[in-house]
Amino acid sequence: MSVILSRHWHLGSFVLAEMYPKLKAYHEWWYFNRDHNGNGLIEYGGTVDDTHTTKEGEMRFKVQASTQLAVLASCKKGKDNWYICSGNQLYLNLLDNPQISAFDIPVQHAAGWESGMDNAARFGFISNEQFKEYANQTYQGDMAKAKADWQVKIFENVRDGQLVGYSINQESVELNSYLAMEKQQLAAMAKRLGNNQDAQKYQAEYQTLKARIDACFYDSKTGFYYDLAIDNTPQSSSECKGKLLVHRGKGPEGWAPLFSQVASGKNAKSVINTMLSKNEFNTYVPFPTAAITNPAFGADVYWRGRVWLDQVYFALSALSHYGYKKDAQQLLQKLISNSKGLSEKDSIRENYHPFTGDQQGATNFSWSAAHLMMMLDEIGLPESTLDQH
């Protein structure tokens, strides 16, 4: 878009003038609907609609219990000991009940979908077998303690007495990195339109958020960025109290600050070391959607192991932004060479197996095709291989 605007100033100004208020409103929507504790760091969540909320304004959810519990008297019993319930307070009361074996919460799924990483580990998704293994390795088999590590809580976001949406109890490093990038872009747009007040506002917000991402989401012990678990307590705009979700493992959200160019050079180097490690993300087809070391990693799991080309694009862009373009080019070559069908006349698929390169998911996937074109255009292949393509 910037190229078009520079070549066609009058057309660009017209488009910007029309689009800027809409883009600004979209950006501000997040702060009104997804900032539960009011500290300016945003969470993913869900909207107020029939899937998530009853007509009475109560959150829908299901629980599984092996015996009929008095506390579930208001719930409707379904198949396989599942109970269909509603009410945020009831939900919160049941969270620590040892007789509840499982939860199914539409808002939790919605938060994953809102991010685009549907069933990622950071949203509390892990197989039963992996969960038992995690409990054994981390807590000598104490399932209750392990459950607390993977349990996602849902908070209601209320403005002026009205329910406007839900947040999960974790501030997203990825989303806030993207929002920082948006602030910088909005500042540039506002400046071009002569709106100096907005330009100064968004540039100042960008600088503040950029510093907070390093301060709030980076774990120096593991050298990676993670989401930050929060409680139900309001915080000031300078606070980020909580616990980094290190125990849910590393995922592509950890290089979002590098893609958005808000990571410090020191922190970026540590993240890149992890990205390039064959014990983490540098697999046969590089950059799976969970590190090999992630407790919930599964090479054939949708967003906990399969390789998605949009996340590869973010990864290669991150490497390029911080001086590792040759590595990015070599990894792009590795992706194309090892993903079955990409170097042949075959359909471009939804995702690929990180260890075998097998095609996975939908065929003729435009999302993958678009990002492949972007990688070839912006990253490029190593010079030694250009004649082969």
> Which residues are identified as catalytic?
118, 350
Secondary structure of 37-103 in HEC code, one letter for each residue: CCCCCCEEEECCCCCCECCCCCEEEEEEECCCCHHHCCCEECHHHEEEEECHHHHHHHCCCCCEEEE
CB 293 within 8 A of CB 279: yes
Q: Would you state the structure tokens that stand for residue 357, as one six-digit string?
A: 């390169």
Nearest to 306 by CA among 314, 318, 298: 298
Give the contacts of 32 (CB within 8 A, at least 6 positions apart). 159, 164
DSSP string over 359-383: EES-SS-HHHHHHHHHHHHHT---G
Q: CA 275, CA 259: separation in Å to the nearest integer?
A: 13
* Residues 283 and 355: beta-carbon distance below 8 Å: yes
